[in-house]
Amino acid sequence: MDYVILGAGPAGLQLGYFLQQAGHDYMILEASDGPGSFFRAFPRHRKLISINKSYSVYSDPETRLRMDWNSLLSDDEELLFAQYSSRYFPPADDLVRYLEDFAAAKRLRIRYGSRVERVVRNGDFELYDDHKRSYRCRRLIVATGLSRPYIPEIPGIELTDNYVDVSVDPEDFKNQRVLIIGKGNSAFETADNLVETAALIHVAGPSSVTLAWRSHFVGHLRAVNNNFLDTYQLKSENAIIDGNIEKITRRGDKFIVTISFVRADEVHKDIEYDSVITCTGFRFDSSLFDDSCLPATTIKGRLPDQTCEWESTNVPDLYFAGTLMQMRDYRQSTSGFIHGFRYCVRSLYNMLETKYHGRAWPAKPLAREPAAVMDEVIGRVNRTSALWQEFAFLCDLIAVSDDGVHYYEELPLDYVHERFARGVASYFVVTLEYGPHHDQFDPFDVTVRRVNQTGTDSAGDSQYLHPVVRHFENGRLLAEHHVTENLENEWDRPFHREALTEFFTRELGEQSMLKAASRG
């Protein structure tokens, strides 16, 4: 086959949809008997933290996807997750039903019950499953997600329970002293489940808790899981410990945990617990790859190392889709989540088409006039969900050449600079971004200086999400324009349009174009 996709999760289905639409020879291999196997088990307490806003002020289908974090992209505007649940934080089982119906409705080529146990490279990729079936493909896309628990190197960690299989019945922890290792959503989801029954709960880790509403990274602690913070700050026998777990031992039926406290000059203390639960997340499983095609990993082995095309840095033609894509914007944007990687997968599909099948990236020709370019940019930033979700990571590209002006949608910024725009003398990139210091202040603090939303003088100080347009010449930044932030996220007021028109008039002016041509 041209392509084999490992995993029938959201990313595997999304890429399979695009490949099928293009008529490519592909197959999706899935170990379980249905799609979405990760969501059949996780999150353990069955409430998703991906929002599902059934009602919106937006009428445009694309713009409404800003508030829909679970739907996949397709040509069927009715095949949306909102048809499966009206809950803002929906049950995970509803997402599984949606994925099942998506796969069936689009008649995707999936072979279930095919657990690939070994992948080798001998020219093409050769895959062998647990039924002794073999597959051969030119390009392999791994969409298996983070499928194995990440276990930190702590002496005695093997003595603890793990998030993946610990009991979710609060009665099993009645009147116990419980330590939870980790400070992510799984840790606080677990803590919140035990608040009513445990005698004491400590949540521990070396770093401070980071709140998503401050960092704007949706993988940080979400409000739906942060009730535990109240029980700590309002003195209810629970605590958040900023410290390193040095070792874990057993003494009879108790755990003795040695902790060095970060906030107390590395003071060491042994604390006794009845239960210890490790909630430190997941990692990429590379065990099925032979040495002939073993991908390099990064970030403590948690993710495969990837180029700007989401291709393995050391194994050509091996690509990654879905949450594995987050290596390129780790803890910065949203590639680790459905509402982000659905657009990254579409971008990957366009890369594959361009690289292997000779198809140019879709582009819209524009008149070489500042007002026409401004109109296109304003229309896009007020409508796009891709740039909204994948802020500061995906961009639109405006290429200027002797052939005219062409507008390309949804490319990774790094890909534009490293690959796509090479040889293009003059180009603009359009992104949606928060301000450079947005995570360093409390967004609810009314004393923080705010940008005048009715003018443009302080547009560059905007800290909330807003459009940014940058002009590059042969890869060198020439100019930058910030469109002033707006409470309603509507950047089409006269002062927005006038300021952007002035920017393009200046940057697309005859003198500027002559200089760009001579330097090119």
* Domains identified in the chain, total number: 3
Rounded average pLDDT over 24-28? 98
Q: Band of the pLDDT at 520, cuts 50, 70, 90?
A: very low
Q: Give yes or no for a contact between 428 and 471, defined as CB atoms under 8 angstroms apart.
A: yes
Measure the CA dihedral 397/401/403/407, to 10°.
10
Give the tokens for residue 380.
Answer: 């896009």
Whether residues 324 and 404 share a domain: the answer is: no
Whether residues 199 and 348 share a domain: the answer is: no
Q: What is the span of the domain harbouring residue 459?
A: 363-519
Whether residues 256 and 161 share a domain: the answer is: yes
Whether residues 419 and 441 share a domain: the answer is: yes
Whether residues 212 and 139 share a domain: the answer is: no
Whether residues 461 and 369 share a domain: the answer is: yes
Which residue's structure tokens are 């914007």?
Answer: 329
- pTM value surpassing 0.75: yes
Which of 128-132, 152-156, 198-202, 402-406 has the weakest average pLDDT?
402-406
Q: 32 vs 27, 98, 320, 514, CA distance in Å?
A: 15, 16, 20, 60
Most distant CA pair in the chain, distance:
82
Highest averaged pLDDT of the listed ranges 220-224, 311-315, 422-426, 438-442: 311-315
Q: 396-416 pLDDT, tens per residue?
A: 999 998 889 999 999 999 999
Q: 181-232 pLDDT, tens per residue?
A: 999 999 999 999 999 999 999 999 998 898 988 888 899 999 888 899 999 9
Whether residues 170 and 107 share a domain: the answer is: no
- Which residue, of 356, 378, 400, is where some domain finishes? 356
- Which residue, of 292, 327, 356, is where some domain finishes? 356
Whether residues 292 and 392 share a domain: the answer is: no
Q: 352-404 pLDDT, tens per residue?
A: 999 999 999 999 999 999 999 999 999 999 999 999 999 999 999 999 988 89
- Which residue, of 332, 356, 380, is where some domain finishes? 356
Rounded average pLDDT over 71-76? 96
Whether residues 142 and 10 share a domain: the answer is: yes
Whether residues 143 and 254 share a domain: the answer is: no
Q: Give yes or no for a contact between 204 and 243, defined as CB atoms under 8 angstroms apart.
A: yes
Would you mind telling me the total number of residues written for the chain in this entry?
520
Give the tokens for residue 109.
Answer: 């080529």
Whether residues 374 and 412 share a domain: the answer is: yes
Q: 233 vs 194, 208, 236, 441, 450, CA distance in Å?
A: 17, 15, 8, 20, 29
Q: What is the CATH number of the domain that holds 242?
A: 3.50.50.60
Whether residues 177 and 272 share a domain: the answer is: yes
